[in-house]
Structure 1
């Protein structure tokens, strides 16, 4: 009986290994099921990558534009994280196909915060048309700034006062 048991165990292991190598499916997946479509769409954070001229209008993700559906603002206010309380007024364009663009005012913000080719720009929607922005350079490291500008009047964007990178 001991010899039969050894033979049976040997065969069982051999067949099991063969099935695992060549077999497909049949096992349970360890991945969670896809999210339910009944969950509300909440887009609070997103980023864009600067592949083209950093000073021209920038397209925001379509999902974010969809999130704002029905409350499409004419302008948004950008606040650089860790750069004081100043809000930068940026006009917003919608193209009628669900795309949203940062337009007039974006150039001043980009210059003041060193947005350049290869940068990753992270946005966090704070509500009330305010977006907090963090800029990452091409090495994926965040650019930190501080502002010596006490003026929080967002109507003086023609006079670009850059945030100053700490030494």
Structure 2
């Protein structure tokens, strides 16, 4: 029974490794946060206000792009081939906004109040986007061949649907 009590107290074999315990696994510990490089690849926003107006991106992501502030980014729904050109605004106080072009993307992908929008920075000013609805379920989209062009006409913007 002694081995059982040791396991419960965390002194048994295999306990404490990777957490600075007695397992000797101190080399597997991650470096302290101050020594890690700042890499912001993924972030999300929750749509609490008008989904069609410019959207603020996290300040930490704007800080990551410091010195490389693009005039525009390209959004791609993660399951679609089309790149949507969206102008970017920086307010001089470290905030970054998706502006002109965001409305077309939001309409075409059903972004609405309560949606959770996940972004993944792919580099070269490209952000892959996943949209989750108010039930926290992911939205999927169908793209036809005629949607491969990036025109600005609202007449051609239609909500995408998931083929079941």
TM-score range, shorter chain: 0.7 to 0.9
Which moves more between the two structures, 85-94 or 139-148?
A: 139-148
Aligned to 1:15, the other structure's residue is in SS state: coil
Q: Structure 1 pair 152/27, CA: closer, same or farther in 2 (3 Å)? A: closer
Alpha-carbon distance, 1:155 to partner: 5.8
Aligned to 1:155: 152
For residues 44-64 of structure 1, what are the alpha-carbon distances to aligned partners after superposition, in whole Å with 9 as ceiling and x for unaligned?
000000000000000000000
Residue 39 (structure 1) shift: 1.3
Cα contact 1:93–1:101 (8 A) shared by 2: yes
> Could you tell me how far 1:9 is from its partner in structure 2?
18
TM-score normalized by structure 2? 0.74
Q: Quick one: structure 1 residues 59 and 158, their matched pair in 2 at CA, closer, same or farther if it must change by over 3 Å?
A: farther
TM-score by structure 1 length? 0.73
Q: Between 43-52 and 152-161, report the one with greater CA deviation.
A: 152-161
Deviation for aligned residue 1:3: 26
Mapped contact 2:10–2:16 kept (Cα < 8 A) = no
Structure 1, residues 68-106: CA drift from partner, whole Å, max 9, x if none? 000000000000x34431100000000100000000000
What is the rounded CA distance, in whole Å, between the counterparts of 2:100 and 2:156 in structure 1? 14
Conserved? CA contact 1:61–1:99, under 8 Å? yes
In 2, are the aligned partners of 1:78 and 1:133 still within 8 Å (CA)? yes
Which structure has the greater CA radius of gyration? 1
Is this contact kept in 1: 2:109–2:160, CA < 8 A?
yes
Give matches, 1:53-132, under 5 Å. 53-79=50-76, 81-132=77-128
Paired residues in the alignment total: 163
What CA distance in whole angstroms lies between the structure 2 residues aligned with 1:13 and 1:94? 54
Task: Give the CA RMSD over aligned residues.
Answer: 7.4
